[in-house]
Amino acid sequence: MAVRAIRGAVQVDSDERELVLEATAELVSEVMRRNELTTDDVISVLFTATPDLASEFPALAARKVGFSDVPLMCATEIAVPHALPRVVRLMAHVETERARTELQHVYLHGAQALRLDIAQ
């Protein structure tokens, strides 16, 4: 069993609490589904949000979809002037038998533009 990091991001339509929670829940669920993970496989998750998303902590969405005992942390992304707006990112540290090349990084909605090389 190896410890691996899985990346993902989602662009949110606007800074409304419910939209942030819905988009983040979708992102977390897709990362879990595409990588065939359970919460027991997850060591921790770091969430970041661009400075224009301040209506809710993205980690709350993970709590609502079952991450009750997984360590979660939120931070603000660097305010780069030309950055894609309204983006929640995650980096999940997981235990898995999969090779690094087999991991599915998940970029949803407008966030696909962030990593065209690995977006699914």
Annotated catalytic sites, by residue? 7, 63, 74, 77, 89, 107, 115
Any binding-site annotation on 98? Answer: no
Task: Kindly give, in sequence order, each residue whose CB lies less than 8 Å from that of residue 109, ignoring residues fewer than 6 positions away.
Answer: 10, 11, 23
Residue 91: CA atoms inside 13 Å, Cβ hemisphere, count? Answer: 9
C-alpha pair distances (Å), 79 with each of 27, 42, 51, 67? 22, 29, 6, 28
Any binding-site annotation on 100? Answer: no
Residue 77: CA atoms inside 13 Å, Cβ hemisphere, count? Answer: 23
Any binding-site annotation on 4? Answer: no
**Bind-site residues for prephenate:** 7, 89, 107
**Bind-site residues:** 7, 89, 107
